[in-house]
Amino acid sequence: MCEEHRPIEGSPDVAEVGTETDGRGGETVVALRDVGVHRHTNSQVILSGIDWTVRAGEHWALLGANGAGKTTLLRLLGALMHPTTGSVEVLGSRLGRVDVRELRARIGHVSTAQRVPQDLDVHGVVLTGHTGTVQPLWRKYDGEVRRRGHELLAELDIKELADRPYGVCSGGQRARVLIARALMAEPALLLLDEPFNALDLPSREDLVEAMQRLADSRPELATVTVTHHLEELSPAVGHTLLLREGRVLAQGPVDDTLTDSWMTGCFGRRITVVRHGGRWAAYSGSHLGS
């Protein structure tokens, strides 16, 4: 067994990957087959042998230590880069055989690193999701588009912020504004790159509740959320993919993957996972081998 495949003491054998789907058999939104990404400058392997399927209506958490390859994997799903090896199909289109600009318009992407004009009002920020631009293109936003922007703000429970400058909104409010912006294009796939970053407890809970409402109101929407904390997962998250050193350690329903042994194997520390009322928490003891 190669070094990068060797299971950590206390974790299941890496080959015993969890069940991939819960049997709902929804339409395939993402299909990765034997995907690898190598850094050309020094031949560093960032991702290797990734097989993964995301179906309509599924909500996935993407977990792994820093440097595990989460950001690179999310960039593949967002059609922001191409794999070095293997195939990536997103919304029925294979990367390398499709105009990625058109494909990106059908994918919602939320990141706290997104460039947003700080002095633009919240409703204007949401409208830019219609054109996929940083700055608003006002002539492109007719009455119907503007109405939809207000509806999305209401759906995310922030309609009172419509006229407030984005730059003075709190971190939790900004996160929900960016989700509303991403939903303007009616995406079938929503990618969330650490949307809870630096949020306080009330803001985190507001966002968790917002994600739960989205799952309830949009049954066909698939989401993938990158996070470092299980407490940030809404009860709607039903699947997990665990990455370790650029490889899939485990994937499948949360009941099979968010376990002490799999999380221990993923992060290299003895981790205890707790579930209560549909919410998750994790804490760690001493480092393995210490």
67-93 pLDDT per residue, tens? 999 999 999 999 999 999 999 999 999
Statement to judge: residues 123 and 141 lie in one domain:
yes
For residue range 197-214, list pLDDT tens digits in order.
Answer: 889 999 999 999 999 999
For residue range 143-162, list pLDDT tens digits in order.
Answer: 999 999 999 999 999 999 99
Statement to judge: residues 158 and 230 lie in one domain:
no
Confidence of residue 286 (pLDDT cuts 50, 70, 90): low
Whether the pLDDT of residue 8 is over 80: the answer is no
For residue range 250-266, list pLDDT tens digits in order.
Answer: 999 999 999 999 999 99
Statement to judge: residues 181 and 201 lie in one domain:
no
Whether the pLDDT of residue 21 is over 60: the answer is no
If one counts the domains in the chain, the total is: 2
Statement to judge: residues 78 and 1 lie in one domain:
yes
- pTM value is 0.87
Whether the pLDDT of residue 96 is over 60: the answer is yes
pLDDT value at position 44?
Answer: 87
Whether the pLDDT of residue 33 is over 60: the answer is yes
CATH number at residue 29: 3.40.50.300
Whether the pLDDT of residue 6 is over 60: the answer is no
pLDDT value at position 148?
Answer: 97
Contact call for residues 181 and 128 (beta carbons, < 8 A): yes
Contact call for residues 243 and 69 (beta carbons, < 8 A): yes
pLDDT value at position 7?
Answer: 40
Instruction: Determine the average pLDDT of the residues in 107-125.
Output: 93
Statement to judge: residues 57 and 174 lie in one domain:
no
Whether the pLDDT of residue 10 is over 70: the answer is no
Statement to judge: residues 5 and 92 lie in one domain:
yes
Greatest alpha-carbon span in the chain: 63
Q: Where are the alpha helices (DSSP H) in 132-259?
A: 143-155, 171-183, 201-217, 254-257
In a domain? residue 219: yes
Statement to judge: residues 74 and 176 lie in one domain:
no
Whether the pLDDT of residue 267 is over 90: the answer is yes
In a domain? residue 236: yes
Burial code (b: 16+ CB inside 10 Å, e: under 16) for 85-99 equals ebebbbbebebeeee
Average pLDDT, the chain: 89
Confidence of residue 23 (pLDDT cuts 50, 70, 90): very low
pLDDT value at position 19?
Answer: 42
Statement to judge: residues 3 and 83 lie in one domain:
yes
Contact call for residues 266 and 65 (beta carbons, < 8 A): yes
pLDDT value at position 27?
Answer: 93
Statement to judge: residues 125 and 88 lie in one domain:
no
Q: For residue 194, give its domain range.
A: 1-9+25-106+187-257
pLDDT value at position 40?
Answer: 75
Whether the pLDDT of residue 185 is over 50: the answer is yes
Contact call for residues 214 and 264 (beta carbons, < 8 A): no
Statement to judge: residues 1 and 91 lie in one domain:
yes
